[in-house]
Structure 1
C-alpha cells in the first residue's frame, strides 16, 4: 500500500520481496503455473543506475537501512528503505531534485538518530541490467513481479571493492496475500535458485567494508540496553513521520533504558548510569505531552460516544477535537525540537558508547538477581506507604509512585529473562497486572483536570457544561474501582509464585 503525505514529505510504500542467487548460465525459473499465478506478461528491460549514500563508517548499512539516488526504471528518484522484517521493508520516495551528490534534507533528517551528525557521502555505485516479468492471475491481475538482475557494483571506503553477480527477486504487488510469496518461493527454489543471505544488493557489495553488528555480546544487560537503543532509533523515524503509536513506542524504549540504568547501576559505572538516566528522563518528558494527549483524547472521545445521546449536551465533540488538536500540534513540535537537539544526539552517542563495551559490565546471575530483589522491595515499600494514607489527592499521588515502582520491577524482570525461570515470569505477570490497573487509575485522575478545563471553556463560550461534569463524576467512580481492583491484584503479587531468591 502506498501512503502519500503532504508538504513535500516522502511517499511511503510497503515492499515485500525475497531475493535469490542464480548461476549466470541458468534459465529464469518457470513460475507459470505456481499457486494462483497462471500467466506471465511480456518482459520489460531497464538499466538502473544507483548511487548509495552512507556515513564513512557505514552506520546506515549496519542498521539495515538503504539510502540511494536511482536513475532509470519506473520509480527513479531518491529512495530510503527501512527494515521491518525478514521479507518486508518500507520504502520512502522523493522525486529527483537538487544536487545529485547531496541527500535531500527530508531524508537526511529521518536518519539522524543513526548518523549522529556524520556527513552522508557517496558510499557505493550499482548498475543493474534488469528484466522484469509481471506475474498474473487467471483474471489478468498482477500478483507479483519477477526480476532478473545482472548487477555490477563498486563500493568505496578504506579499500575499493568491485563485484558482479546475478540475482532474481520476487516482489508482491500491493494487496497480494503473503501466501502467494510462499508458493512462488517454492517454485523458484525447486528450479535451482538459492535464497540469498543478503538483505539488499548494497549489503552484499559492502559486506567486507561494514563493521559487524547485532551479534549477542554475552552480557545480558548490554544486550538488553542495545535492544532498547535500537527500538529508540527505529521509533525516532516514526515520530518524525508522525506514524501512529511511534511516540508511545519511543517513550517506552526510553523508559526501559532509564529503568535498566537505575535498577542495575551497581553493575555499571554508577556516575555514567545516573547521568544517562537523567538525560533519558528529560527525553521522556519531551515526548510525554504528545503521548499523554493521544491517550486522553482517545479515552474521552470513546466515553462521549458511549453516552446516550440525550446526555451529550452542546458541541462536546467539536470542543474536545479543537482542544486536543491544538495540544497535539504543540506537543509534536516540542518532541521534534528535542529530537533535533544536540542534547539528544549526545545522549545517543553516550548510550552507543555504553553498549559497545559489554566487558566493563558486571552482570553475573547473582548481581542481576540482587537488582530484581531490590526493585521488589522498593515496590512493597511504596505500596505500604500508599495504603497508610487516607483517600484523596495525596494517596492518588502515592498510587502513581506504586505504578512507577511496579513498572520498574517488571522491566527488571524483562531484562533478566535470559537467565530467569518460570516462577519469575509468573511474578512479572502479577506485577504487570498491578501496573496496568494503576495506569488506568492515573489516566482517569489526570483526565479530571482536563474535564474541568473543558467545562470552564464551554461555560465561557456559552455552551452547556453538563456533559463534562457527568464525565468528571464517572472518572471518580472509575478511579475508585481501579483502586479496589489493585488491592486484590496486590495480594496476588504478595502471595503468588516467585523464585526463592526474590523472597
Structure 2
C-alpha cells in the first residue's frame, strides 16, 4: 500500500497551463497519454459516497487499483494488483473494500476516458518531486460522451508540502480554481455519489447542552470508525506509522465499543445492545489472539536486544516459533473476516452510526446522566468486587490475574471518562488522561507477565532452548516488578483526579 497525496483544481476548457518554474525544481514535460478506466461500485455507490474507489485502467502494469480515504483530504491509501479479467475485480481487492460494501455485489458504474498531459517537477539530479497532470475527462456512455470536464491534479512524489503550495499559487494566478478534493468518479456520477456515506463520522465536539443520546452516538461512531478504518489495513497486514499495527488499533475499537455498551447500558435498548456485545466479543477474541502473538514477538526481540548474552541460535528458533504462532492466529482472523457473520456485524455497526436504539433515559441532558454512569465503573475500579481487589487495595504481591483485572477496570473507567468528557467537562477530561497513563503502566505489566508465562511454558516443551527461555522469563519478571513498584504513585495521582466522583 502506498499513500497518494494530491491537490485538484477546476479549470476552464480554455485554461493555459503556466510555466511551472517553482523554487529550485526543473519542469520536464512527458508525452500525453489516454487512460480509460472502468469504476466498480455497489448499486448504492457505497464506495464513492465513502470517498473510496475500485477501478480497472487499461494500459497500467497493475490495472486494478483500490483507493481508500484517510482523515486528511487529498491523501488516500492506494493498492494496485494485476488481474486477467477486466470485468471482474480481483477477490483480494473485493475483500479490501468489504468494510464499506458489506458484501454487496460490485458492478461497473462508470467509464472515464482521460487525456492526460503531464509535467514532472524534478530536482537538480533529475529525481521527480511532484507531478502536474492536466486532465481532460470524458464520461462515456457506450459510444456517447454525455459529459466532459477538465481538471489539474498535482501529486507530491518526493518534494515537500511547500512545493505543492508554490505550484498552487501559479495555477490560481493563471485562473485555476482551488477547492475541495473531489475525485473524478464523484464528478462523473454527480449528485448520487455526493450523498452522505453510510458510515457517519463522530462529531468533532459536543456542546455542553448535549443530551445523553448525543454522547452515546458520538462514542459509538468513534469506535465503529476505528474498526472500519483498520479493516483493510488488517487484511493487508502492513505496519502503521510509528510502529503500531492495524490489528491493535482494530482491537482497541472493538474493546472500546464493548466497554461503551456496558457503560451506557441504562441508556440503551438491551434487545439491540446485548446481541451486539456478543458479536463484538467473538471478533475481539480473534483480534486478541493475533495481537497477543504480535506482542510476544516484539517482546522477544526487545528483551533479546537488551541482553546480548542470549545464544543467537536459540533466539532465531524462538523467533520462528512465535512467527508461526502469529501466522496461525492471523490466518484465523482473516478467515473470520471473510464470513457472512463478520459482514453482518459490519452491517450492524454501520447502521449504529446512524441510529442507536435507546431507552427513554437517553433523552436526559448529558450533564445530568453521565456523572452517574461514570461513577459506576470508577467505583468498581476503586473498590473492586467478586474476589478482585480494587485499585486502592492492589498489593505489590498480588497475583498477575489481579493486576490484569485492575487494568481491565482502569480501561473501562477511562473509556467512560473519555465519553463523558466529550461535552467539555475539564475535571472528567483530566481524569481520562490520568487513567490513560495508568492504563499504560498496567499494560506494561500485563505484557511482561504474559511474556514471562509464555517463555516458561515454552521451556517445558522446548527443553533445548530452556536456559535461554528461563533467562528471558527472569528479565520479564524483573520488568513486571518495576512496574508494580511504580504503580502506587501513579494510582495516587489518578485517585486524586477522580475524587469528585467519590460519594
Question: Smaller-chain TM-score range?
Answer: 0.7 to 0.9
Residue 68 of structure 1: SS of its match in structure 2? strand
Q: Which residue of 1 aligns with 2:12?
A: 23
Q: Which residue of 1 aligns with 2:452?
A: 448
CA distance in 2, matches of 1:144, 1:308: 45
CA distance in 2, matches of 1:162, 1:360: 47
- Determine if contact 1:155/1:206 at 8 Å carries over to the other structure: no
Q: Which residue of 1 aligns with 2:161?
A: 178
Q: Deviations over 1:241-280 (max 9, x none)?
A: 1112011111111111111111112222122112211211
CA distance in 1, matches of 2:118, 2:73: 23
CA distance in 2, matches of 1:314, 1:169: 51
Residue 229 of structure 1: SS of its match in structure 2? helix
Q: CA deviation at 1:87?
A: 2.6
Query: Structure 1 residue 399 and structure 2 residue 412: aligned?
Result: no
Q: How does 1:300-449 map to 2 (within 5 A)?
A: 300-309=300-309, 312-313=310-311, 315-357=313-355, 360=358, 362=362, 364-365=365-366, 366-382=368-384, 384-385=389-390, 395-449=399-453
Shift of the 252–119 alpha-carbon distance from structure 1 to 2, 3 Å rule, reads same
Shift of the 416–77 alpha-carbon distance from structure 1 to 2, 3 Å rule, reads same
Q: CA deviation at 1:161?
A: 11
CA distance in 2, matches of 1:248, 1:345: 20
- Determine if contact 1:79/1:93 at 8 Å carries over to the other structure: yes
Residue 191 of structure 2: SS of its match in structure 1? coil
Q: CA deviation at 1:216?
A: 5.9
Query: Structure 1 residue 293 and structure 2 residue 293: aligned?
Result: yes
Residue 251 of structure 1: SS of its match in structure 2? helix
Q: Which sits farther off after the overlay, 378-387 or 349-358?
A: 378-387
Pick one of 160, 167, 189 that aligns with 2:151.
Answer: 167
Residue 484 of structure 1: SS of its match in structure 2? helix
Q: CA deviation at 1:54?
A: 0.5
Q: CA deviation at 1:62?
A: 2.3
Q: Which residue of 1 aligns with 2:117?
A: 131
Q: Which residue of 1 aligns with 2:29?
A: 42
Shift of the 119–224 alpha-carbon distance from structure 1 to 2, 3 Å rule, reads same
CA distance in 2, matches of 1:145, 1:94: 22
CA distance in 2, matches of 1:75, 1:143: 22
Q: CA deviation at 1:295?
A: 1.0
TM-score, normalisation: structure 1: 0.88
Work out the number of aligned pairs and report it: 477
- Determine if contact 2:227/2:254 at 8 Å carries over to the other structure: yes
- Determine if contact 1:407/1:435 at 8 Å carries over to the other structure: yes
Shift of the 487–128 alpha-carbon distance from structure 1 to 2, 3 Å rule, reads same
Q: Deviations over 1:445-484 (max 9, x none)?
A: 211221113323442x3x5x33322332233332222222
Q: Which sits farther off after the overlay, 227-236 or 323-332?
A: 227-236
TM-score, normalisation: structure 2: 0.88
Query: Structure 1 residue 227 and structure 2 residue 222: aligned?
Result: yes
Q: Which sits farther off after the overlay, 249-258 or 123-132?
A: 123-132
Residue 482 of structure 1: SS of its match in structure 2? helix
Q: CA deviation at 1:195?
A: 1.7
CA distance in 1, matches of 2:18, 2:427: 52
- Determine if contact 1:406/1:435 at 8 Å carries over to the other structure: yes
CA distance in 1, matches of 2:168, 2:289: 46
Residue 300 of structure 2: SS of its match in structure 1? helix
Q: Deviations over 1:385-439 (max 9, x none)?
A: 46667766x6421221111111111112222333032221211122112211111
Q: Deviations over 1:91-133 (max 9, x none)?
A: 21123412x3211111111111221111001111212121112
Q: Deviations over 1:171-213 (max 9, x none)?
A: 122x333332222222222322122324311122234113313
Q: CA deviation at 1:235?
A: 1.1
